[in-house]
Amino acid sequence: MILYDFQCECGSKFEALARISDRTYKCERCGELASRLISTPRIKLEGWSGHFPTAKQKWIKMHEKEARKTTSE
């Protein structure tokens, strides 16, 4: 199940958990079928690099760990 936005002809706009195949959902206000909307994805990327916010820290930790291995050997 995925969270989708739906809009009904009565003007109601709401979110609901639905299957990918569900194109309509029962309106919470009037009970009629509401249509699924195309909406923007809810993700967060760093503006300057396009990578996920924790990617840089993971890269640093991984390289520090590798550096400790080679210096201790």
Q: pLDDT digit string (tens) for 29-44?
A: 999 999 999 987 777 6
Verify that 30 and 55 share a domain, yes or no.
no
Verify that 30 and 57 share a domain, yes or no.
no
Verify that 55 and 31 share a domain, yes or no.
no
Q: Which amino acid is at 24?
A: T
Verify that 49 and 32 share a domain, yes or no.
no
The answer to whether 66 touches 60, Cβ cutoff 8 Å, is: no
State the residue range of the domain holding 51: 44-73
Verify that 49 and 68 share a domain, yes or no.
yes
Please state the pTM of the whole predicted model.
Answer: 0.55
Verify that 31 and 61 share a domain, yes or no.
no
Verify that 31 and 11 share a domain, yes or no.
yes
Question: Please, which pLDDT band fits residue 64 given cuts at 50, 70 and 90?
Answer: confident
Between residues 72 and 68, the one the model is more confident about: 68
Total structural domains in the chain? 2
Residue 33: its H or E element: strand 33-36
Residue 9: its H or E element: none
Question: Please, which pLDDT band fits residue 52 given cuts at 50, 70 and 90?
Answer: low
